[in-house]
Amino acid sequence: MENGSWEVLGSKGLVKRHEFVRIMVQCLYSLGFKKSASCLENESNISCKSDDFAILEMQVLSGNWGSCLGVLDRIFDNPKDDVRNTALYLVFKQCLFEYLKRGDASSALNVLRKQAPMLLVGKEKIHRLACDIISSKEMESGEVDNCLVQDLRKRLLVELEMLIPSPIVIPERRLEHLVETAVMDQIDSCMYHNSWDAVSLYKDHHCGRDQIPSETVQILMAHKNEVWFVQFSNNGKYLATASSDCTAIIWKVLDDNKLELKHTLQSHQNPVSFVSWSPDDTKLLTCGNAEVLKLWDVDTGVLRHTFGNNDNGFTVSSCAWFPDSTRLVWGSSDPERGIVMWDTDGNEIKAWRGTRIPKVVDLAVTPDGESMITVFSDKDIRILNLETKVERVISEEQPITSLSISANGKFFIVNLSSQEIHLWDLAGEWKQPLKFSGHKQSKYVIRSCFGGLDSLFIASGSENSQVYIWNLKNAKPLEVLSGHSMTVNCVSWNPRNPRMLASASDDQTIRIWGPAKLKNQLDNRKLQ
Amino acid sequence: MDPRQFEHIVVNDNDTHSIVMSYLLHNCFSETADSLASSTGIKQPAIDRDNLERRKQIIHFILEKKALKAVELTEQLAQDLLEKNKDLHFDLLCLHFVELACAGNCAEALEFGQTRLAPFGKAQKYVEKLEDVMALLAYEDPEKSPMFHLLSSENRQQVADNLNRTILEHVNHPGYTPMERLLQHVTVVRQYLTEENGKDVFPPFSLKDSLKG
């Protein structure tokens, strides 16, 4: 009989006092505070081990199998319960082991033939016991090592603990589990959560705006015309931008998070609308809507190879790399070009052409290199598994302008000219996409990207010159960033720095966004 | 050619006698074989009489619930035969275990199981049968257990046939008698004809009906 078992705690009276004390005792024991735990048990008159379990423990450790089985039979009252029968089976097994070690075969057989069936353990378990006798090496008669027997009895007790239900035995580390559940719930409803740091238990977890990029920290002015594309390298150390001034620029991210121009890539004769970093970040691909595809060396800024030529109205709308950084694939909005896979030396490996391949609007390869996603101008998204050749098609209802895959390769987003961003899962289990809106898009190609901790955020450009940020949990924007003076075409979130975002605009600039500093500065002043 | 017009085929007496003779020799009915030879005047094929007598002994031991003696004789006859046929070896040892358990000789059965049968348990394919055999220990009266088929004479006969066949093949004799092969052929051909032409035209082969004449 436990003290105060009728008392409840908490403002809603949902928590039973004696249960609360009992899990506290368990917690103290598991943290190693044996004296304190024992003290609390005495003071509260509530012990961690239930009476039933204390009895069971005594019987097991002294090998009183008959009583032990009796206790278990009482605890588990349903003979059809497999957990009950497993527990009984374990006890019988230990019992048989001890009989056989002593050379007492007839007692062992008696267990099998009389005791086990009497407790309705079930035919399957009895047969398994018979097999255990023969097949387990331990059961051969021999030296009875008392230490070994005691060890095995302790191990049996541990196994029984895992089977016996509460309240006789409470699950391990119960208090820790309850606290962790509460913390996870708080994190779940935290919209700005963007950091890996452990949470403090002293106050309810609630991240502030300062966790995500929301203010301009730098404006990059080097392009001489509209900037159409921007993308951070995979290692987060570089940024590439592409412009209708027919150049692409590689910028370096310095230690103080400021960016500095490294190389200007000049060679294209027409506007550059797309770039792609090789997975190892040593090479960069650039291409444009009425342009060829060029391969550059990142370190030196030197042009390595040109795919195609400008004479025949060549046009590559999009390109992507394979994980080996030596194979790449491009898609063309010219149906005759189709989709072609190359190696970096300029050899064609594979091609998809023909009537089934209309204009390619955008394409991407999953980080593991297994699937290729292509967006076609007829509003189809096709996901092709390159190994099995199985293809899945998603038909959207509005024209799609761009595609982006998450870092873990499990999800992708598409921008639709109906001013919605649709999020789909690559595995194909979702019947409907998650939808995000709030930005403006109707005439131009606007691009979005995943970002932040575990890709929990999406950012997008917009025709109203603002940058939009959503938390995946909510269809409405979390933040709207102002600064640009014209349409924002493209955004890129630094994969290694969840607090750095870049945006490219028709106003010829690139803006780098970072966390709001104002609150921290105020706090620092107060401390002084 | 109409398959129903088989009555025109002439069957040679010598052929039928040969078929019966080969069956008798396969199954070690040596005295009956001698009798048939003297009645019909056909010559017995030159077979290894020693091999036949041994096979006869071995089969009898199995049917008389003396599986371990059968194993001993087999090892004398062909040393590596049981090594090369582990499934058969296992079946024979199981028979011995069953004999011990049925005789109430549980302590010996236990020891035999631990030393000779347990090693087979390492291979997944023997585990199920091993469990069934071992479980006999859980029943005071094995005949009343769900595994009573292990005690049956049909089971013993099957193992005996298997061993007989294996020994014959080991000395490069055919493992199946022409009689068996003929019956198998007839069944298959009849089945084919039934499928092609329907049950009314060609009913499936039934030995019982054929024996009625």
DSSP secondary structure of A175-205: HHHHHHHHHHHHHHT-TT----SPPPSSS--
CB-CB neighbors (< 8 A) of B136 in chain A:
130
Give residue B15's pLDDT: 87
A455-498 tens-digit pLDDT: 999 999 999 999 999 999 999 999 999 999 999 999 999 999 99
| Token digits of residue A288 | 């444009």
| Overall average pLDDT of the A159-173 stretch | 89
Q: For an interface test with A, which of B96, B126, B131 has the most A Cβ atoms less than 10 Å from its Cβ?
A: B131
Question: Coil, strand or helix: which one is B27?
Answer: coil
Angle, nearest 10°, between helix axes B67-77 and B153-170?
0
Range scoring the smallest mean pLDDT among B156-165, B169-178, B198-207: B198-207
Residues A131, B107: C-beta atoms closer than 8 Å:
no
| Overall average pLDDT of the A292-298 stretch | 91
Q: Point out the residue among B118, B137, B146 whose CB comes nearest to the CB of A112.
A: B137
Residues B138, A126: C-beta atoms closer than 8 Å:
yes
User: Above 60 in pLDDT, residue A239?
Assistant: yes
| Token digits of residue A65 | 């199998």
Confidence band, pLDDT 50/70/90 cuts, at residue B213: low
Q: How far is B119 from chain A (nearest CA, A)?
A: 8
Q: How far is B87 from chain A (nearest CA, A)?
A: 18
Segment 137-166 of chain B within 8 Å of chain A by CB: 137-140, 146
Give residue A402's pLDDT: 92
Nearest-CA residue of chain B relative to A138? B114
- Supply the DSSP symbol for A261: E
A49-65 tens-digit pLDDT: 999 999 999 999 998 99
Residues B131, A131: C-beta atoms closer than 8 Å:
yes
Give residue A19's pLDDT: 92
Q: How far is B104 from chain A (nearest CA, A)?
A: 12
User: Above 80 in pLDDT, residue A304?
Assistant: yes
Give residue A312's pLDDT: 66
User: Above 80 in pLDDT, residue A336?
Assistant: no
Query: How far apart are alpha carbons B36 and B29 in whole angstroms?
Result: 11
| Token digits of residue A49 | 């081990």
CB-CB neighbors (< 8 A) of A116 in chain B:
138
Give residue A1's pLDDT: 44
Give residue A142's pLDDT: 66
| Overall average pLDDT of the A14-23 stretch | 92
User: What Cα–Cα distance (Å) separates residue A293 from each residue in A271, A284, A286, A490, A518?
Assistant: 12, 10, 6, 20, 44
How many other β-carbons are positioned within 10 Å of the β-carbon of residue A429? 6
| Overall average pLDDT of the B161-169 stretch | 91
CB-CB neighbors (< 8 A) of A130 in chain B:
131, 134-138
The answer to whether B138 and B147 have CB atoms below 8 angstroms apart is no
Antiparallel, parallel or unpaired: β A391-395 and A400-405: unpaired
CB-CB neighbors (< 8 A) of B114 in chain A:
133-134, 139-140
A145-163 tens-digit pLDDT: 788 888 889 999 999 999 9
Query: How far apart are alpha carbons A428 and B117 in whole angstroms?
Result: 51
Query: How far apart are alpha carbons A127 and A129 in whole angstroms?
Result: 5
The answer to whether A329 and A376 have CB atoms below 8 angstroms apart is no
Give residue A394's pLDDT: 92
How many interchain CB pairs under 8 A, A with B?
A: 52
| Token digits of residue B34 | 């001698």
Query: How far apart are alpha carbons A28 and A18 in whole angstroms?
Result: 15
User: What Cα–Cα distance (Å) separates residue A410 from each residue in A87, A367, A371, A413, A415?
Assistant: 42, 9, 11, 11, 17
Give residue A250's pLDDT: 96
Task: Identify any residues that bridge with A492 across adjacent strands, giving them in sequence order.
Answer: A502
CB-CB neighbors (< 8 A) of A121 in chain B:
none
Which residue did the predictor score with more confidence, A49 or A2?
Answer: A49
CA B75 to chain centre: 18
Query: How far apart are alpha carbons A290 and A295 in whole angstroms?
Result: 16
Residues A134, B110: C-beta atoms closer than 8 Å:
yes
Q: How far is B80 from chain A (nearest CA, A)?
A: 26
A359-373 tens-digit pLDDT: 888 999 999 999 999
Nearest 5 degrees, angle CA A196-CA A201-CA A202?
125
A424-442 tens-digit pLDDT: 999 989 999 999 999 999 8
User: Above 80 in pLDDT, residue B26?
Assistant: yes
CB-CB neighbors (< 8 A) of B130 in chain A:
131, 134-135
Query: How far apart are alpha carbons B147 and B137 in whole angstroms?
Result: 11
Note whether B113 contacts A: Cβ–Cβ < 8 A: yes
A197-235 tens-digit pLDDT: 778 889 888 888 888 899 999 999 999 999 999 999 999
Residues A134, B106: C-beta atoms closer than 8 Å:
no
| Overall average pLDDT of the A276-295 stretch | 90
B65-117 tens-digit pLDDT: 999 999 999 999 888 888 899 999 999 999 999 999 888 888 888 888 888 88
Q: For an interface test with B, which of A113, A123, A135, A139 has the most B Cβ atoms less than 10 Å from its Cβ?
A: A135
Residues A127, B138: C-beta atoms closer than 8 Å:
yes
Residues B135, A127: C-beta atoms closer than 8 Å:
yes
User: Above 60 in pLDDT, residue A526?
Assistant: no
Using a pLDDT cut of 70, give the percent of chain B over it: 99
How many other β-carbons are positioned within 10 Å of the β-carbon of residue B169? 14
Confidence band, pLDDT 50/70/90 cuts, at residue A527: very low
Nearest-CA residue of chain B relative to A107? B107
Q: What sign has the CA pseudo-torsion A332, A338, A339, A341?
A: negative
B27-36 tens-digit pLDDT: 888 889 889 8
How many C-alpha atoms does A463 have within 13 Å on its Cβ side? 12
Q: Is A68 left (phi over 0), alpha (psi -120 to 50) or beta?
A: alpha
Question: Coil, strand or helix: which one is B202?
Answer: coil
Using a pLDDT cut of 70, give the percent of chain A over it: 94
| Overall average pLDDT of the A402-408 stretch | 93
Which residue did the predictor score with more confidence, A34 or A166?
Answer: A34
A71-105 tens-digit pLDDT: 998 888 888 888 999 999 999 999 988 888 887 88
What are the structural domain ranges in chain B?
10-47, 49-170
Domain A226-458 CATH class label: mainly beta
Give residue A478's pLDDT: 93
User: Above 70 in pLDDT, residue A340?
Assistant: yes
Query: How far apart are alpha carbons A350 and A155 in whole angstroms?
Result: 60
Segment 102-121 of chain A within 8 Å of chain B by CB: 105-106, 109, 112-113, 116
Task: Identify any residues that bridge with B202 across adjacent strands, giving them in sequence order.
Answer: none
What are the structural domain ranges in chain A?
49-169, 226-458
Give residue A295's pLDDT: 93
Please report the DSSP string for B77-111 in residue order: H-TTHHHH-HHHHHHHHHHHHHHHHHTT-HHHHHH
CB-based contacts of B8, cutoff 8 Å, min separation 6: none
CB-CB neighbors (< 8 A) of B121 in chain A:
131, 134-135
Structure-token match 């409470």, residue found: A170
CA A289 to chain centre: 35
Q: Which long-range contacts link A428-434 to residues 24+ away (Cβ below 8 Å)?
A: A428/A383, A428/A392, A434/A472, A434/A475
CB-CB neighbors (< 8 A) of A128 in chain B:
131
Query: How far apart are alpha carbons A503 and A208 in whole angstroms?
Result: 22
Nearest-CA residue of chain A relative to B115? A134
Please measure the distance between the N-terminal and C-terminal CA atoms of chain B and give it in whole angstroms.
24
Q: Which long-range contacts link B170-178 to residues 24+ away (Cβ below 8 Å)?
A: B170/B78, B170/B81, B171/B48, B171/B51, B171/B78, B173/B47, B177/B19, B177/B22, B177/B23, B177/B26, B178/B18, B178/B19, B178/B22, B178/B23
Give residue A522's pLDDT: 47
User: Above 70 in pLDDT, residue A524?
Assistant: no
Using a pLDDT cut of 90, give the percent of chain A over it: 55
Nearest 5 degrees, angle CA A399-CA A460-CA A262?
115
